[in-house]
Amino acid sequence: MRERLFGAAHDAGAAVVFLTRLPLPWHVPDFDARLGRSAPWFPLVGVLVGAIGALVWWIGITLWNPAIGALLAVAATVLATGAFHEDGLADSFDGLGGSAERERALAIMKDSRLGAYGAVALMLVLAGRVLALTALGGAAAAALVGGHALARCATLPLLRWLPYARADGGTGQPFAGGVSLPALSSAVIATFVLTWILWGGAALAAWAACAAVVLVFAGWCRRRLGGITGDTLGASNQLAELAVYLALAI
């Protein structure tokens, strides 16, 4: 039992190290081997990142107003993750918008330079998150915690059921096909319970919006790229988070 608990803690730690810039108070042994098993812990990392955003939001509204609180909260979550998912969003839209050819689109997504499609997508999604959180008013803190958890949970079905598009590997390769059905079910149930506690019946609308957006985007990636990449997983996360905030704001 003790070994299983330590193993779970190390797997969760691997998820924190991979998805964020946050320091861990312990060293994760066998990091590369654990990385593929860490995906079911992604929603928990979302709770951590969302809690940081909620704390900064509270400071922002205390010192200034809801708009500045929302802006600071989004900035704090971007800093906590090192803009990991935002980078994937920009790269995905650069590739998908830049070429209709699969191989060319994948090559564009690997380019570190920011193109017009990626810049526009990044600005719109960031602005949308700030405006939606502002519209949520006092409910923004709960939206941040649950929204970050749900957005990361939404990528797990893609990891389980969609093929990896790159033959040469990439940031998402260690996770592709590595999410077991029991682990996926546990993550979904835990995330649903959390969001229900935070949002009540509004959780149903948030889940529906999140699922719709992720399914449409995943279908687009499957058709255009033949599957997912690390960048498209990051983009899915960003689009899901925005969809959740907008649904809750309604």
Is residue 77 within 8 Å of 171, Cβ to Cβ? no
| CB half-sphere exposure, 66, CA atoms < 13 A | 12
How many CB atoms are located within 10 Å of the residue 162 CB?
20
Residue 175's pLDDT is 81
Residue 112, C-beta contacts closer than 8 angstroms, at least 6 positions apart: none
Long-range contacts of 69-75 (CB under 8 A, 24+ apart): 69/133, 69/134, 69/140, 70/129, 70/130, 70/131, 70/133, 70/134, 70/140, 71/130, 73/133, 73/140, 73/144, 74/126, 74/129, 74/130, 74/133
Residue 168's pLDDT is 80
**Cα–Cα distance for residue pair 188/201, rounded to 1 Å:** 17
Residue 177's pLDDT is 75
Residue 173's pLDDT is 80
Radius of gyration of the chain (CA): 17
- Torsion angle defined by CA atoms of residues 224, 113, 129 and 241, in that order, rounded to the nearest 10 degrees: 40
How many CB atoms are located within 10 Å of the residue 65 CB?
11
Residue 171's pLDDT is 78
- The interaxial angle of helices 2-19 and 42-63, nearest 10 deg, is 60
Number of continuous H segments (helices) and E segments (strands) in the chain: 12, 0
**Cα–Cα distance for residue pair 195/149, rounded to 1 Å:** 8
Please give the chain's pLDDT, 250 residues, in tens.
677 787 899 999 999 999 999 999 999 998 888 988 899 999 999 999 999 999 999 999 999 999 999 999 999 999 999 999 999 999 999 999 999 999 999 999 999 899 999 999 999 999 999 999 999 999 999 999 999 999 999 999 999 999 999 878 777 788 877 799 999 999 999 999 999 999 999 999 999 999 999 999 999 999 999 999 999 999 999 999 999 999 999 9
